[in-house]
Chain A
């Protein structure tokens, strides 16, 4: 088991006051809060921070932690000294921030047993429906277009009979309904937390997000594709092949189309009662002037066309 240096995690000295601890927590919590932060390991950092604060904000736990001494280094193999908690009166003031979060083995070893952890899950005398559980799952665009069955793995903290928290993983096969949009939820009845006292289990609510697609972008029920076209296709008009999730289609490009023009294929977006649209965004690609013939064509355009794209700039 690795020793955790809670002071170091919070960037504090061992002599920090309770006010300083609170301020440091607030500041770091803002920085690493998973809703706000875009840092890669924000969630892990936030959990670590929550654990450190859980201990340091509580004078009893902090005193017990301090008693382990200052000579431990973070990550060092750690065994609590025998009777390290002797003489402390733990009121078990309840847990603050964690809200069912999972703390490290180190924390569990020190505070997870005996007097410290007040079990919230204790035998309740009444019947209660289990809590709804939440998870976010990532699917492919094609799953929504055709409907699919996906296997997902969920991990959730569970408390065993002795009050230890463990992360349990379970696997579920779920049906992805055709036409589901990013941000929508699927409700799976009875797959949430178990009820107590014979109450019904809660539901599992899955929030749908889409994996990035190499070709397409999704906006609500509409699908966008950037389509490279030649200058003459855009200028003269043309019929070109376009990939869609349903296969190739012929698309008519009207003459005098401009860079960034959007062409709409109605009803070829995500399926629904009123299906989304498929939008093609034209991207004009310039042929390289890397041969004499290509150069000659550009030179001809230069001579023949009276074209100044900078006219709106007044130059």
Chain B
């Protein structure tokens, strides 16, 4: 029996698509709601729902907000630059995945 077996097992909940409220997203990333709203206005992240009160964000938005935060904090990139950088990074990631697929065969 390893020491791991003695630890309790934690069961979490999966963050399903479009399930995070604005408040949850802000708290998860440690940012102000105004900043997240400005990301939505720049269409860096796109919530489901028309009104702020019913906005729901995906787990992917969570990753994007955190990347956006780092780009702003570490590199001083502005919102338009963040939008461009994130889109290009995503495209690069997809191309790398494609490339891996081709090399795999």
List A residues at the B interface (Cβ < 8 Å): 26, 29-30, 33-36, 46, 50, 97, 99, 129, 131-132, 134, 149, 151, 171-175, 177, 180, 183-189, 191, 202-207, 217, 219, 224, 226, 281, 283
Contact = CB atoms under 8 A, between A and B. Distances in A.
Contacts of A33: 70-71, 74-75
Contact of A207 (B10, B63, B89, B101): B63
A183 B90 CA distance: 13
| Residue from the set B9, B14, B100 with the largest chain A CB neighbour count within 10 Å | B14
A29 B8 CA distance: 40
Interface string B86-98: 0001000000010
A174 B14 CA distance: 12
Contacts of A204: 12
Given A131-B30, A219-B97, 17 more contacts: A26-B75, A35-B70, A132-B28, A134-B66, A149-B9, A175-B11, A177-B12, A177-B14, A180-B14, A183-B60, A184-B15, A184-B59, A185-B15, A203-B28, A207-B59, A217-B100, A217-B104
B9 A173 contact: yes
B99 interface: no
Interface string B1-26: 00010011111111100000000000
3 shortest A-B CB distances, which residue pairs?
A186-B12, A185-B15, A188-B12
B75 A202 contact: no
A178 B28 CA distance: 24
Contacts of A206: 12
B14 A173 contact: no
Interface of B is mostly: helix
B10 to A, nearest CB: 5
B83 to A, nearest CB: 14
Interface residues of B, number: 33
Contacts of A35: 67, 70-71, 89
B27 interface: yes
17 contacts: A29-B75, A35-B71, A36-B85, A97-B74, A129-B27, A132-B28, A134-B28, A151-B7, A175-B9, A175-B10, A183-B59, A183-B63, A184-B59, A206-B12, A207-B62, A217-B104, A226-B105
B76 interface: yes
A186 B28 contact: no
Interface in B6-64: 7-15, 27-30, 59-60, 62-63
Nearest to A193: B30
B4 A151 contact: yes
A175 B7 CA distance: 12
Given A36-B89, A186-B14, A174 B9 contact: yes
B105 A173 contact: no
| Residue from the set B8, B71, B97, B105 with the largest chain A CB neighbour count within 10 Å | B105
Contacts of B76: 26
A171 B7 contact: yes
Contacts of B11: 174-175
B73 to A, nearest CB: 6
B104 A226 contact: yes
A189 B15 CA distance: 12
A180 B59 CA distance: 12
Contacts of B105: 226, 281, 283
| Residue from the set B28, B62, B63 with the largest chain A CB neighbour count within 10 Å | B28
A34 B97 CA distance: 18
B33 to A, nearest CB: 15
A203 B25 CA distance: 12
Contacts of A177: 12, 14
A188 B7 CA distance: 15
Contacts of B85: 36
A205 to B, nearest CB: 6
B92 to A, nearest CB: 9
Nearest to A132: B28
